[in-house]
């Protein structure tokens, strides 16, 4: 590890920030949590992860803050909040960031680093983090961890000029997660890794909302299963058309992996069920726009987005 005692800040706790923050703190890292709705509950009861993999985990003494200005300057910042709130988060990230801080965006979708980059000073290193985890928040300060848990990291932009410097920072993050018992790897190409994750996210997130169903019933019914597969193939094709070739065999690997997962309700399902905005821009609109720009059609994915936007607008009323 190049930085043995980094100070870590978690921006936006929820399921993702809560899980990884707790894992890092339990491993002895100095972790600080910026909280909003969860502040009181976490101060009083700590953080809890009910893990089907690791059992019941808890962190009693949580270094929790309501305001970024009260946090100590952090070396690493993990952003676990929804991408829909990034414009409001950027000033808080800047406030909590130490000199040459590393900011890891643990969010789904395409283009989120580009959008956030424009709101951050150039000395801050921006990394993307791809979480492979089935988890959701069941109450304030309580995370249900159903399966998996890995994080892959890729460098996006910042003051690391050479590939070697960028790689060293990524490896530092990977080591930090591994030291906390979290499976982690360096992603050779962040954009490609983001597209690869979209191949999973694009069918399941939207269909869980549209059809009010988790992965198991979606995979058990031959028609929804075929629809999942079509959308995965559209995402694969779009990635390749955009210059990030993904093998079509990836689709069958992901289908098989999902067959072996417990029935899982993706984050968009929980967002919609709780009246929070859905990440339609990052998970659907941005990749559709990228594909359209290179003339690649994603008709079934587009139909899904159109239906989800209708649902989203009605939910807003």
The residues carrying an active-site annotation are 197
Across the chain, the runs of DSSP E, i.e. the strands, are 7-11, 30-34, 47-51, 55-59, 63-65, 74-79, 97-105, 125-139, 142-157, 184-186
Shortest spacing between CB 265 and a copy of itself, in angstroms: 15
- Consecutive H or E run containing 274: none
Residue 314 sits in the site that holds a copy of itself (CB under 8 A): yes
Nearest to 130 by CA among 209, 191, 175: 191
Contact string 111-150 vs a copy of itself (x = CB under 8 A): ----------------------------------------
Identify the CA nearest to 31 among candidates 222, 180, 236, 188: 180
By the 8 A CB rule, do 100 and 76 touch? no
Q: According to the binding rule CB under 8 A, does residue 299 interact with a copy of itself?
A: yes
- What's the token pair of residue 74? 């952090």
DSSP string, 167-230: HHHHHHHHHHHHHTT--EEE-S-HHHHHHHHHHHHHHHHHHHHHTT--HHHHHHSHHHHHHHHH
CB of 310 to a copy of itself, least distance (A): 4
| Shortest CB 309 distance to a copy of itself, Å | 4
Name the segment binding a copy of itself (CB under 8 A); options: 22-30, 41-49, 151-159, 302-310: 302-310
**Residue 285 near residue 305, CB atoms below 8 Å:** yes
- If one asks whether residue 255 binds a copy of itself (CB under 8 A), the answer comes out as no
Name residues contacting a copy of itself, limited to 159-178 (CB under 8 A): none
CA distance 309 to 285: 10
Contact mark string toward a copy of itself, 204..233, x via CB under 8 A: ---x--xx-x---xx--x-xx-xx--x---
Report 180-209 residues binding a copy of itself (CB under 8 A): 207
The reply on whether position 307 binds a copy of itself by CB under 8 A is: yes
In the complex with a copy of itself, the residue whose CB is nearer, 160 or 238, is 238
Q: Which of 171, 302 has the CB closer to a copy of itself? A: 302
Verify binding: residue 309, a copy of itself, rule CB under 8 A: yes
290 binds a copy of itself (CB under 8 A): no
295 contacts a copy of itself (rule: CB under 8 A): no
The CB-of-206 to a copy of itself minimum distance in angstroms stands at 11
Minimum distance, C-beta of residue 307 to a copy of itself, in the bound complex (Å): 6
Residue 214: partners with Cβ closer than 8 Å, 6 or more residues away: 208, 263, 264, 265, 269
Ramachandran bin of 208, using left for φ above 0, alpha for ψ from -120 to 50, beta for the remaining angles: alpha
Cβ atoms of 305 and 206 within 8 Å: the answer is yes
Which range in 12-20, 110-118, 175-183, 309-317 contacts a copy of itself by CB under 8 A? 309-317
Q: Which is nearer to a copy of itself, 16 or 218 (CB)?
A: 218
Question: What angle do the packed helices 190-210 and 249-259 form, to 10 degrees?
Answer: 50
Is the CB of 105 or the CB of 304 nearer to a copy of itself?
304
- Residues that bind a copy of itself in the complex, under the rule CB under 8 A: 207, 210-211, 213, 217-218, 221, 223-224, 226-227, 230, 299-300, 302-307, 309-311, 313-314
């Amino acid at each position: 590890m190049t930085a043995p005692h980094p100070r870590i800040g978690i921006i936006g706790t929820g399921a993702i920030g809560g899980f990884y923050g707790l894992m890092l703190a339990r491993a002895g890292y100095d972790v600080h949590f910026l909280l909003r709705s969860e502040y009181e509950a976490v101060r009083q009861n700590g953080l809890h992860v009910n893990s089907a993999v690791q059992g019941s985990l808890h962190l009693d003494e949580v270094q929790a803050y309501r305001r970024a200005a009260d946090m100590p300057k952090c070396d690493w910042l993990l952003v676990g909040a929804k991408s829909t709130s990034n414009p409001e988060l950027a000033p808080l990230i800047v406030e909590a960031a130490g000199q040459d801080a590393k900011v890891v965006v643990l969010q789904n979708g395409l283009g989120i680093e580009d959008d956030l980059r424009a709101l951050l000073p150039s000395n801050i290193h921006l990394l993307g983090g791809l979480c492979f985890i089935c988890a959701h928040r069941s109450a304030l300060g309580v995370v249900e961890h159903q399966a998996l848990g890995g994080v892959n990291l890729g460098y996006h932009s910042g003051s690391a000029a050479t590939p070697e410097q960028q790689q060293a920072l990524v490896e530092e993050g990977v080591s930090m997660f591994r030291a906390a018992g979290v499976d982690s790897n360096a992603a050779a190409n962040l954009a490609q890794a983001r597209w690869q994750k979209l191949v999973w996210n694009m069918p399941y997130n939207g269909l869980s909302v549209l059809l009010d169903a988790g992965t198991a019933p979606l995979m058990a019914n031959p028609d929804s299963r075929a629809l999942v597969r079509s959308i995965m193939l559209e995402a694969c094709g779009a990635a390749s058309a955009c210059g990030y070739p993904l093998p079509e065999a990836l689709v069958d690997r992901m289908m098989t992996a999902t067959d072996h997962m417990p029935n899982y309700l993706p984050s968009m399902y929980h967002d919609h069920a709780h009246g929070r905005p859905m990440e339609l821009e990052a998970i659907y609109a941005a990749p559709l726009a990228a594909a359209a720009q290179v003339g690649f059609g994603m008709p079934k994915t587009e139909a899904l987005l159109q239906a989800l936007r209708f649902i989203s607008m009605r939910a807003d009323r």
